[in-house]
Amino acid sequence: MPLAFHRKVRIIVTAFFNFLHDNPYILLFLVVGLSVWVGRGTIKGYGLGAVAGAIVIGCAIATWASYYGVHFELDNFTKSLFYYLFMYGVGLRVGPSFINSLKGDGLKFTFLAILSSFLGLGIVVLGVKLLSLPVGAAGGILAGSQTMSAAIGSAEQAITSGVVPLPPGTTAAAATAMIALSYGITYIWGTVGIILICKYLPRWWGVDARKAAKAYEVEHGVPNVDDAGLSGYRPFDLRAYRLVNSEWVGQTIAQFRQQFELYQIENVERGDQLLGADPALVLQLGDIIALGGSLDALTDHMGLIGPEVPDARALNIPLDEAVILVTHRDAIGKQLKQFSQSSIAGQVQLVGIERGGAPIPVGLETRLQRLDVMHLIGLRTAIDKATALLGKAGRPSTATDLLTLSLGMVLGLLIGLIQVPAFGAAVGLGNAGGLLVSGIIVSSLVSRVRFFGNTPNAARNILEDMGLIFFVAIVGVNAGANLVSQISPIIALKIFVLGFVACTIPPFIVWAVGFHVFKINPAILMGGVAGARSHSGPAREAAKEIDSSVPWIGFPVAYAVSGILLTVFGYFAMVLAR
């Protein structure tokens, strides 16, 4: 009976794997779905994540199927397509911060990101040579230890392009499988290790990062940003008043604004008529005036016009919401508090600022940088004024400009075809590198020409998240059948030890340089170290540890630079370690 039962199970499982073999797209989406589900699981706040889960699940299913004589292999065109979409999405995201990294304080974080990336690359290449690890290990260890999953793609391209010679008896599939294996072994500590290191580095250095963060907040007015009139803490308000104060009877709206710049008359109701808010409109006794301003401003001069009235018609004024890309020359470098006397003071609510795709703490002394993204809500006239003061505006939209996407992809692929002679061979960026550069170019042109080529954050995230996880899932599935023949305890131990060293050493050196040489605020430096490793998790945990969002200030620039370097370093790790 037990033998018959096992035979039946084997028949069912074999039939299931044969079904997946004959329906590769079902196999692909099954792996991705399981990867996302497994990636959501955590143990004390730490988990694999969907990308690492894709490698594990893909390899596990393919290895399991090989025991039943079923060999999975998904086509390379699909794999490359998803990877190229991911690389273009990365370029769109990091473009603004990459541009800002070339000037001002961004240079400090740029140096730290370069230092961390080169240290990681150097340790991996040297370790692979000393430990005589198989072909493919260098790319996988770099990707896993530095938690840069995209490096898997550039490492694999070094194999498929023929740049890395394969030893006799080693196939391209086996080398690719070794990339996946090395990535899976080193990724766990690569993720957990950098989170713990960033979180506790200040303590190990004898520094109170929480105190440093609070000092920064007080010095730069982070808790009191609403004093600038661009507030995420105290929203503006709109109220209606009946004009009974004779002082304003016969005065124009423009004359009223000259004395009270913090207020904005948005509408005037006279009898059954709505007269709007023309600056030349003369106010009359009994008018219902819709007055906008910050909440504190509206309560500072009670009775200025007359009693407040709940007039729905006068208050029926549409509010506007806009995303403004900072491009105006006069706004770049300005602190938020410098807008307190501008025409938009008290008229708009600053919901938040993003820099390089990451939110940053907002304070009175926050300086605007080129290509910062400001999220504003307010009166339509004030939004229009804010646009004139700050840069280019775009209203929230779910539409994606597919024409710009297509042209950007074509441009990237053309850039990838360019090759120059070097070291006795022709060297170029390749398709992936070209698309990364194209994304940066497009994100810059968006601000320089006009607010065109709309790619909402959700659409960009789809390019990145879906592109990467599908690519990694295919790598895992294709590698699974070859893993059994390559795994040995000694190789796995060597890979883990090298990954541990490559993950652990660079953050300490980056911290020492940033703290002792550049004198960066410890709270900000925590985010800088996380950004230098191109991983948002440590910055998030650092912010929780010190109960402040200050670490995010040091994150965007370093994140953009290291993201680009570590992605392409997968290729160089393979080349240099051969």
Instruction: Give the model confidence (pLDDT) of 439-489 as tens digits.
Output: 878 876 665 544 455 566 666 677 777 887 888 788 778 776 666 556 677
For residues 523-531, average pLDDT? 89
Q: Lowest-pLDDT range, 7-21, 309-323, 509-523?
A: 309-323
Q: How confident is the model at residue 130 (pLDDT cuts 50, 70, 90)?
A: very high
13-23 average pLDDT score: 86
Give the whole-angstrom CA distance, residue 209 versus residue 391. 35
Q: Determine the Cα–Cα distance for residues 127 and 115; give it in Å rounded to an integer.
A: 18
- Minimum mean pLDDT among 72-76, 95-99, 478-482: which range? 95-99
377 falls in which pLDDT band (50, 70, 90)?
A: confident
Q: Sketch the domain layout of the chain as residue ranges.
A: 1-72, 245-306, 321-394
In whole angstroms, what is the distance from residue 524 CA to residue 26 CA? 45
Whether the pLDDT of residue 178 is over 80: the answer is yes
Average pLDDT over residues 108-126: 93
Q: Which residues contact 109 (CB under 8 A, 6 or more apart)?
A: 101, 528, 531, 532, 554, 557, 558, 561
Q: Torsions phi, psi of 324, nearest 5?
A: -110, 125
* Residue 254 DSSP label: H
Question: For residue 447, what are its two tokens?
Answer: 């601000």
Asked if pLDDT for residue 99 goes beyond 50, the answer is yes
> What CA–CA distance (Å, rounded) separates 578 from 560?
28
Share of the chain above pLDDT 70, in %: 80
Rounded to a whole number, what is the largest CA-CA distance in the chain?
102
- Rounded Cα distance between 500 and 131, Å, is 14
Which residue in the block uniquely carries the two structure tokens 């609510």? 349
> What pLDDT sits at residue 124?
94
Predicted pLDDT at 234: 46
- Model pLDDT, residue 87: 78
Mean pLDDT score, 352-365: 72
Whole-number CA gyration radius for the chain: 29
Given this model, what pLDDT does residue 94 score?
66
Q: Which CATH architecture has domain 321-394?
A: 2-Layer Sandwich (3.30)
List 270's β-bridge partners, or say none. 273
Residue 495, judged by CB atoms within 10 A of its CB (0-12, 13-18, 19+), counts as: buried
In this model, does residue 328 exceed pLDDT 90? no
**Residue (of 298, 243, 304, 299) closest to 275 by Cα position:** 243
H/E stretch holding 15 reads: helix 2-22
The answer to whether 348 and 379 are in contact (CB under 8 A) is yes
pTM of the entire predicted model: 0.67
Token look-up 């990308």 returns 51
* Mean pLDDT score, 179-199: 82
Q: Which helix (H) or strand (E) holds 392?
A: strand 391-394
* Residue at 190: amino acid letter: G
Pick the CATH number of 245-306 from 3.30.1520.10, 3.40.50.9100, 3.30.70.1450, 3.20.20.70: 3.30.70.1450
Specify the pLDDT at position 224.
42
pLDDT recorded at residue 513 = 94
- Are 150 and 90 a contacting pair, CB within 8 Å? yes
Give the tens place of pLDDT for each residue, 156-175.
888 877 788 888 877 787 78
Q: Residue 168 gets which letter from DSSP?
A: T
- Asked if residue 540 has pLDDT above 90, the reply is no
321-394 shares the fold of 245-306: yes
- The owner of tokens 């991911």 is 86
